[in-house]
Amino acid sequence: MKQLHSFEHIRSFFIFLILVCLYGIIVANLYIIQVQQQSFFSNLGQKQYNISTTTLPERALIFDRNGTPVALNKDSFAAFILPKQITDRAPIEKFLTQHFPAAAQRLATSWDKNFFFISRKLNSEQETLITQANISDIHILQEPSRFYPYACMSTILGITDIDNHGIMGIEQQYDEVLQGTATTHILKKDARSNRFYFEKELTVQGAASQSVQLTIDADLQYKITSILEQAVEQFQAKEAAAIIIDPVTGEISAMASFPYFDPNNTEQLVMESTKNRPTSQAFESGSVLKIFCALAALEEHVVTLDEMINCENTKETKIEGIRVRTVAPHGNISYLEVIQNSNNIGTVKVAKRINKKLYDYYKLLGFGSTTGLNFPGEQKGYVNPPANWSAYSIVSLSFGYEISTTLLQLARGLSLIYNGGHLIVPKLTIDKQFDSKTVGSEPLICEQTRRDLDAILLGAVEHSSGKRARITGYKVTGKTGTANILDHGKYNEDKHLNTFIGYIEKGCYKK
């Protein structure tokens, strides 16, 4: 009897011990689940009950100054496959090898991928090929893309990449504005069915995309580009560029480059054709700089328009031991005629009086600095500082060498002469939230200097090399320039850059 009672005690003890162990295991598991792995199971639950959705607004349009759309949206199509889900590779490999060889090569090392693009932005022929092939594993995806009705504006507008993000021009400069930002929602769903949603919670409020209106007139841009194309063909030139700007407001009405590119067909894009030449190419522009040298001379009162300058009636002479050549010989002529006739000898003699202050005036006019337009790729050019001058530098700088400028900088500098001495900030957009503020209201030159320069520019068109710019019923002022181009470190006398700058007013002058 005692043995049986002792056995019962032992059995009870072992059962109690087993229960304690089981309870300890349960407690330990609960600790692991609820404490150590709390974040894991919490995230698992969130995934079962919550879905995050992100939506992007449609990319906004770009308009010209008259409200004409110059960058629109259109649907494009992409072909893709799901490599991991494909059981029969042979038909796809055969089709891609025949019609999309580049994709076939990429796919050879991508069969372990979940998703694979065959091609994006399919053209009509490619769409037809895929449709007629009738291969069930090749799928078509609709994607947003851009369409540009004015190819002549390509170097201004730029383009978007394959994912519709701006990568050039206005598309790049205002990418965030045009694109907007994504809105994110959390949807509460039934974990046992993806069809039932109980609650929609906004977690990130996106920003709507905003259109951009340019100061560019699309029709004027087209006409100017056509003129440039004709000029390039007529003179067998390599390239050409032009800019039209309001000298008071700084609004750019046209900014043309030739050659340009087709923004709707970028499969074989030549990068040279994508440059916006008026902003991104800085050159030694030659004699057009004489008007700004004259500005410095008149403002410093080292010369007057009627002062007679001895140009020595020769095409070549030496001034303080430096050889100076000019196109046509002149004798004693007024400073007005020196600049109008673009005589280098007379120009240098007066520039010697200004000396190092000429650099200060060039910098004051904005040369060697960006204009504030903030256009992608804008160049600031270069003005050789006095610390680097040689004996020839003042000679070079007086007629447009040792200083490189863009067309935009030249237009800005000339605008200062027209508007009474105010250095404007060029603008490409009309909406004030995108515009830069104009420079201070204090004029940089006096009224007499402005009048004298206006007289020089008018005379250059009426009586000198700018005669072809005359238009009946308009006051046309301007200055021509010709510069030799650096070719492998030397100036090539057979390669020239020809430039004309000027301003025009209707009904202000009668011939």
End-to-end CA distance of the chain: 144
Residue that is written with structure tokens 């006739």 in the block: 341
Residue 192: per-residue pLDDT? 54
Whether the predicted pLDDT of 467 surpasses 60: yes
Interval 394-405 mean pLDDT: 96
Most confident among 57-61, 71-75, 299-303, 467-471 (mean pLDDT): 299-303
Instruction: For residue range 51-72, list pLDDT tens digits in order.
Output: 565 667 889 999 999 999 999 9
Residue 55: per-residue pLDDT? 64
Summary mean pLDDT of the chain: 87
Whether the predicted pLDDT of 221 surpasses 90: yes
Measure CA 140 to chain center.
Answer: 33
Q: Rounded to two decimals, what is the model's pTM?
A: 0.81
Interval 241-251 mean pLDDT: 96
Cα(191)–Cα(354) distance, rounded to whole angstroms? 84
Cα(325)–Cα(453) distance, rounded to whole angstroms? 24
- Cβ atoms of residues 279 and 373 within 8 Å: yes
- The angle, 0 to 180 degrees and rounded to 10, between the axes of the packed helices 357-364 and 344-354 is 100
Whether the predicted pLDDT of 304 surpasses 50: yes
Beta bridge partners of 252: 245
- Cβ atoms of residues 322 and 443 within 8 Å: no
Residue 87: per-residue pLDDT? 84
Whether the predicted pLDDT of 7 surpasses 70: no
pLDDT band at 230, cuts 50/70/90?
Answer: very high
Residue 493: per-residue pLDDT? 84
Residue 508: per-residue pLDDT? 56
Whether the predicted pLDDT of 286 surpasses 90: yes
User: How do the domains of the chain map onto residue ranges?
Assistant: 282-425+432-506
113 or 336: which leads in pLDDT: 336
Name the residue among 308, 306, 348 with its Cα closest to residue 331: 308
pLDDT band at 432, cuts 50/70/90?
Answer: low
pLDDT band at 265, cuts 50/70/90?
Answer: confident
> What does CATH list as the number for 282-425+432-506?
3.40.710.10
Residue 50: per-residue pLDDT? 57
163 or 207: which leads in pLDDT: 163
ω into 259 cis (within 30 of 0): yes
CA angle centred on 353, ends 404 and 447, rounded to 5°: 75
- Cβ atoms of residues 395 and 324 within 8 Å: yes
pLDDT band at 420, cuts 50/70/90?
Answer: very high
Cα(359)–Cα(50) distance, rounded to whole angstroms? 67
DSSP at 264: T
Residues 6+ apart with CB under 8 A from 172: 158, 166, 376
104 or 353: which leads in pLDDT: 353
- Cβ atoms of residues 452 and 446 within 8 Å: no
- Cβ atoms of residues 59 and 178 within 8 Å: yes
Instruction: For residue range 142-192, list pLDDT tens digits in order.
Output: 888 899 999 999 999 999 998 889 999 999 999 999 998 877 656 565 555
pLDDT band at 434, cuts 50/70/90?
Answer: very low
Beta bridge partners of 446: none
- Percentage of the residues of the chain whose pLDDT score is greater than 70: 84
Whether the predicted pLDDT of 196 surpasses 50: no
- Cβ atoms of residues 80 and 111 within 8 Å: no
Whether the predicted pLDDT of 426 surpasses 90: yes
